[in-house]
């Protein structure tokens, strides 16, 4: 299984861009990078995913390096409600089954 490495915690000022890095050096060519976040004791929330091109949606942008060994999730204008644990996941292709392998994630704190 491709493994991801994320910083344990990060801080960001409200209104600034939050850039969350993720290393996935063993990623396979057909594996996607997914980002989820979990706000205290709630279910994880899907944010964005990508294969090799940069992606953007209403929540965030995902920048994947050309060699695909790392990626960065960008929250362009962080708010206090973005305080959460952010998980970077390389989706395991288990014969087509849906299986997400969560690591410890990055605890992002947005400060006023």
Nearer to another protein, 14 or 59 (CB): 59
Nearer to another protein, 77 or 99 (CB): 99
Q: Is 80 helix (H, G, I), strand (E, B) or coil?
A: helix
Q: b/e map of 14-51 (b: 16 or more CB within 10 Å)?
A: eeeebebebbbeebeeebebbbbbbeeeeebeebbebe
Interacting positions 32-91 with another protein (CB under 8 A) = 34, 36, 41-46, 49, 87, 91
Stretch that binds another protein, among 17-25, 62-70, 76-84, 98-106 (CB under 8 A): 98-106
Give the residue, chosen from 40, 81, 96, 112, that forms a contact with another protein under the rule CB under 8 A.
96
Nearer to another protein, 14 or 93 (CB): 93
Residues that bind another protein (CB under 8 A): 34, 36, 41-46, 49, 87, 91, 93-104
């Amino acid at each position: 299984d491709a493994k991801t490495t994320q910083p344990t915690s990060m801080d960001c000022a409200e209104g600034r861009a939050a850039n969350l890095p993720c290393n996935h050096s063993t990623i396979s060519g057909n594996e996607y990078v997914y980002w989820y976040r979990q706000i205290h004791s709630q279910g994880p929330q899907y944010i964005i995913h990508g294969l090799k091109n940069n992606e953007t949606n209403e929540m965030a942008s995902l920048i994947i390096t050309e060699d695909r060994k790392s990626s960065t999730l960008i929250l362009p204008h962080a708010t206090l409600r973005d305080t959460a644990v952010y998980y970077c996941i390389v989706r395991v292709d288990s014969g087509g089954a849906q299986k997400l392998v969560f690591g410890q994630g990055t605890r992002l704190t947005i400060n006023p």
